[in-house]
DNA sequence: TTGTATGCGTTATCAC
DNA sequence: GTGATAACGCATACAA
């Protein structure tokens, strides 16, 4: 690989001048500029980003932390962040944290050694105190982590209210909820939204709620428990789509017809919900937009175009598919 | 961040000595070693990887190129490569190429400026001539790219034969194929495996084959065409699971019962096939193992533990689920 | 408008 | 055993 010295030699100028034309800084005579440009193309010269990083202390790299890219919610988020990174000339690093705080801290450590410029993080486990002391920009995505951080989320509580109300309007009389993990902010908000709507109903009891931990299998079992102990359930709000598919499977295994006997609505709007039979009604997030916006905020923060904390909340929208149907009166 | 100089000063030695204890190179007195170690912990010193990279010309980073992480085949591959990277102390960069040769070339360019150490690539579009001239190690995964490259794949042709034979053994008399794109090596191999089994059958005609381009929607349409023009089809081999789900949907929309009237078997073994109704029978690849092995070979090549080209082929295995059933005689 | 010199934080070479 | 010091490739402060 040619270096800036080779270019300087060929163009018969100093390296400083080459650097100037490279970065468009300072004055440089039109004629020499052209000589340098010619030398650059002749040698097919590309600046060494590592040397640049060393000098600048910045690397033009950002990372996305997700619990596990194999969870079908995250690929679209990853794609969005990567697209924005590329658009802004950043390299995209992906880290799977398994919701393990030790791994998260370890990643931060290693990436800082590489002068990583910033992190978009989806996490509920990392200590807020740790993350606020990380001295590079961090943007929380999908879940709130710490009040000092910028974040991009959706209106989970309101969305959950709408989902539950939708089931009511369909004519469901007994609406249960398969909840996400109780230490995750968005799961709590979805639970609260559900409670907002049903808590005052005379039939309501807490036994209409079961934990599904955002996992397919757990949700399937949770749904089986719900439908067994409360056969009167005719509507189910599930905290995310992955669990929603688990719920679908549970109903099937118990011989309960969806949507004829039971309407199911979930949350997220991932593609998975379009491939099941019946397809899954859901409160769809603008997943791609949220991911892209998080990356954009991060980059603005890195480049100090906008240094202050930003909190953005997108709106979810119902997507009616086959797993819900109006009940006959 | 503390630097090696700070450590040297605190331990009252030279930076050279600190470097020695850091890397375990050269002789250093036990006592000084301890002093240095103490200074390191006291300052919470971490070496600057950028400076190291600049000196060494290597970055301890590897990349994975995939067409699109949103395609459900790739997240497991990405996870595998990332896990192996982490295990060997490499940082993991993810690139979505959209099967666009220009983007691929551009990524290579930019990553080389960052001294990226190597690439695991899933691609059918990049020019083999270009990639063989990339002067860092490259390992092809899932698809063959160029004869000079190391690669990790599966026995596509044999797997396709087994899938087709399996349908025959089930009693299917007219077996059609929804094929992948015709410029992709593994898709061609799967098509050939199908042909190996059915080409000599007297009923066989090329109209039993339709292109699905490895896309859900295309496969759905292709299947509708197949089942419309050949209502006698009772067995379908689909070139991958994503398309298999599309085929399932097509059959449903035509009112054809799977597996009662039509048995469907696909290829890959991704999780998606477990969530459909009926679940999808498939020739399952050891996706995670293949990804991990590709990364391992890459790293061996980078670290010159094993410099020569490696070609590994894993074996696929049938996973019988609900989309196939023995036909009554 | 351009060149010289210095530093970014490491590692390796060569003395001592 | 240990310490100066050059070098990795670039960008900037300062001179000219």
Scanning the structure block, which residue is given the tokens 């080779």? A6
Closest residue (CA) to C1' of nucleotide D2 is B17
The conformational region for residue A269 under phi > 0 = left, psi -120 to 50 = alpha, else beta, is: left
B15 touches strand D (CB under 7 A): yes
Partners of B312 in the β-ladder: B152
Q: Distance (Å) from the C-alpha of residue A144 to the closest C-alpha of chain B?
A: 24
- Closest by Cα among B217, B213, B115, B259 to A91: B115
Are B78 and B66 contacting, i.e. CB atoms less than 8 angstroms apart? yes
Contact A272 B272 (CB under 8 A): yes
Flag whether pLDDT at B305 surpasses 80: no
**What integer pLDDT is reported at residue A327 of this predicted model?**
87
The model's pTM: 0.96
Nearest nucleic acid nucleotide to A35, CA to C1' distance: C2
Question: At A237, which helix (H) or strand (E)?
Answer: strand A235-238
A70 touches strand D (CB under 7 A): no
Residue A85 lies in a domain: no
Are A104 and A97 contacting, i.e. CB atoms less than 8 angstroms apart? yes
Percent of chain B with pLDDT over 70: 100
CATH of the domain at B24: 1.10.260.40
Distance CA B32, CA A275 (A): 64
Distances in Å between the alpha carbon of A116 and those of A156, A267, A320? 31, 33, 42
Distance CA A220, CA A153 (A): 26
Token pair of A311, please? 């909190």
- Closest by Cα among A116, A120, A111, A136 to B90: A111
**What integer pLDDT is reported at residue B329 of this predicted model?**
63
Write the residue in A51, A59, A96 that is nearest to B79 by C-beta.
A96
Spatial neighbors of B106 by CB under 8 A, at least 6 apart, are none
Write the residue in A46, A70, A275 that is nearest to B76 by C-beta.
A70
Residue A263 lies in a domain: yes
Distance CA A90, CA B173 (A): 55
List, for residues B50-62, the tens digit of each pLDDT value.
Answer: 999 999 999 999 9
DSSP reduced 3-state for A23: helix
Residue B13 lies in a domain: yes
Distance CA B143, CA B120 (A): 11
Percent of chain A with pLDDT over 70: 100
Confidence of residue B294 (pLDDT cuts 50, 70, 90): very high
Are A277 and B257 contacting, i.e. CB atoms less than 8 angstroms apart? no
DSSP reduced 3-state for B299: helix
Is A49's Cβ below 8 Å from some Cβ in B? yes
- The mean pLDDT of chain A is 96
Residue A280 lies in a domain: yes
Distance CA B315, CA B242 (A): 20
Q: What is the C-alpha R_g of chain A? A: 26
Residue that terminates a domain, selected from A285, A306, A321:
A285
**What integer pLDDT is reported at residue B328 of this predicted model?**
77
State the total domains in chain B.
2
**What integer pLDDT is reported at residue A170 of this predicted model?**
98
- The mean pLDDT of chain B is 96
List, for residues B142-157, the tens digit of each pLDDT value.
Answer: 999 999 999 999 999 9
Give the structural domain span for A209: 156-285
For range B275-299, the mean pLDDT? 98
For range B98-108, the mean pLDDT? 96
**What integer pLDDT is reported at residue A131 of this predicted model?**
86
Partners of B209 in the β-ladder: B177
Are A297 and A310 contacting, i.e. CB atoms less than 8 angstroms apart? yes
How many C-alpha atoms does A42 have within 13 Å on its Cβ side?
Answer: 13
- CA B239 to chain CA centroid, nearest Å: 16
**What integer pLDDT is reported at residue A179 of this predicted model?**
98
DSSP code, position B201 = S
Neighbours of A56 (CB within 10 A): 13
Closest residue (CA) to C1' of nucleotide C1 is A28
Is A114's Cβ below 8 Å from some Cβ in B? yes
**Could you give the maximum distance between any two Cα atoms of chain A, in Å?**
88
Residue A21 lies in a domain: yes
Residue that terminates a domain, selected from B45, B63, B79:
B45
Is B44's Cβ below 8 Å from some Cβ in A? no
Residue A13 lies in a domain: yes
Which residues 34 to 63 of A reach strand D, CB within 7 A? 45-48, 51-52, 54-56
Q: Alpha helices of chain B — where are they, by DSSP H?
A: 4-11, 15-23, 30-43, 49-56, 74-87, 101-113, 128-133, 156-169, 185-198, 216-229, 241-253, 272-275, 287-302
Instruction: Identify the residue among A275, A279, A295 best suited for mutation to test binding to B, counting B beta carbons within 10 A and taking the highest.
Output: A275
- Closest by Cα among B94, B213, B302 to A82: B94
For range B63-68, the mean pLDDT? 98
**What integer pLDDT is reported at residue A97 of this predicted model?**
97
Confidence of residue B132 (pLDDT cuts 50, 70, 90): confident
* Phi, psi (deg, nearest 5) at residue A98: 55, 25
Distance CA B58, CA B114 (A): 9
**What integer pLDDT is reported at residue A133 of this predicted model?**
79
Partners of B141 in the β-ladder: B152
Contact A110 B96 (CB under 8 A): no
Residue of A nearest to B65 (CA): A92
Residue A33 lies in a domain: yes
Q: Distance (Å) from the C-alpha of residue B173 to the closest C-alpha of chain A?
A: 27
Question: At A51, which helix (H) or strand (E)?
Answer: helix A49-56
Q: How far is the CA of A65 from the C1' of C12 (A)?
A: 36
Residue that terminates a domain, selected from B266, B285, B304:
B285
* Phi, psi (deg, nearest 5) at residue A220: -60, -50
Percent of chain B with pLDDT over 90: 92
Distance CA A301, CA A280 (A): 38
**What integer pLDDT is reported at residue A211 of this predicted model?**
97
Distances in Å between the alpha carbon of B23 and those of A50, A219, B46? 21, 49, 12
Q: Alpha helices of A98-240 — where are they, by DSSP H?
A: 101-113, 128-133, 156-169, 185-198, 216-229
Is A69's Cβ below 8 Å from some Cβ in B? yes
- Closest by Cα among B308, B304, B289 to B141: B289
Q: Distance (Å) from the C-alpha of residue B280 to the closest C-alpha of chain A?
A: 11
**What integer pLDDT is reported at residue A329 of this predicted model?**
64
- Closest by Cα among A72, A73, A92 to A82: A92
Closest residue (CA) to C1' of nucleotide D5 is B16
CATH of the domain at A255: 3.40.50.2300
Are B20 and B26 contacting, i.e. CB atoms less than 8 angstroms apart? yes
Contact A72 B75 (CB under 8 A): yes
Is A322's Cβ below 8 Å from some Cβ in B? no
Residue B184 lies in a domain: yes
Distances in Å between the alpha carbon of A313 and those of A141, A180, A188, B170? 10, 20, 16, 53
Are B131 and B262 contacting, i.e. CB atoms less than 8 angstroms apart? no
| Mean pLDDT (10-residue bins), chain A, 329 residues | 96 97 94 97 98 98 98 98 98 97 96 98 88 91 93 98 98 98 96 98 97 97 98 98 98 97 98 97 98 98 89 98 90
């Amino acid at each position: 690989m040619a270096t800036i010295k080779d270019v300087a030699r060929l163009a018969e100028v100093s390296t400083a001048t080459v650097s100037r034309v490279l970065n468009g800084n300072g004055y440089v005579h039109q004629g020499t500029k052209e000589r340098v440009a010619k030398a650059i193309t002749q040698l097919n010269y590309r600046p060494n980003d590592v040397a640049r990083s060393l000098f600048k202390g910045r690397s033009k790299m950002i990372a996305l932390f997700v619990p596990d890219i194999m969870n079908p919610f995250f690929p679209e988020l990853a794609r969005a962040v990567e697209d924005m990174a590329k658009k802004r000339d950043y390299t995209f690093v992906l880290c799977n944290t398994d919701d393990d705080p030790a791994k998260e801290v370890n990643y931060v450590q290693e990436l800082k050694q590489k002068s990583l410029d910033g992190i978009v993080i989806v996490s509920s486990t990392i200590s807020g105190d740790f993350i606020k002391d990380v001295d590079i920009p961090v943007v929380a995505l999908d879940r709130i982590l710490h009040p000092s951080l910028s974040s991009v989320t959706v209106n989970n509580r309101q969305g959950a209210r709408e989902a539950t109300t939708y089931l009511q309007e369909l004519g469901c009389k007994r609406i249960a909820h398969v909840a996400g993990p109780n230490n995750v902010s968005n799961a709590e908000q979805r639970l609260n939204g559900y409670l907002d709507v049903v808590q005052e109903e005379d039939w309501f009891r807490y036994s209409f709620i079961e934990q599904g931990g955002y996992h397919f299998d757990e949700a399937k079992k949770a749904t089986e428990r719900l439908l067994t102990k409360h056969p009167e359930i005719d509507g189910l709000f599930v905290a995310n789509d992955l669990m929603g598919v688990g719920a679908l499977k549970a109903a099937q295994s118990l011989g309960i017809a969806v949507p004829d006997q039971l309407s199911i609505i979930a949350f997220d709007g991932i593609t998975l919900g379009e491939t099941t039979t019946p397809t899954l009604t859901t409160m769809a997030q603008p997943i791609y937009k949220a991911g892209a916006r998080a990356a954009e905020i991060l980059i603005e923060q890195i480049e100090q175009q906008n240094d202050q904390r930003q909190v953005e909340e997108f709106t979810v929208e119902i997507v009616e598919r086959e797993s819900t149907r109006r009940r006959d009166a």
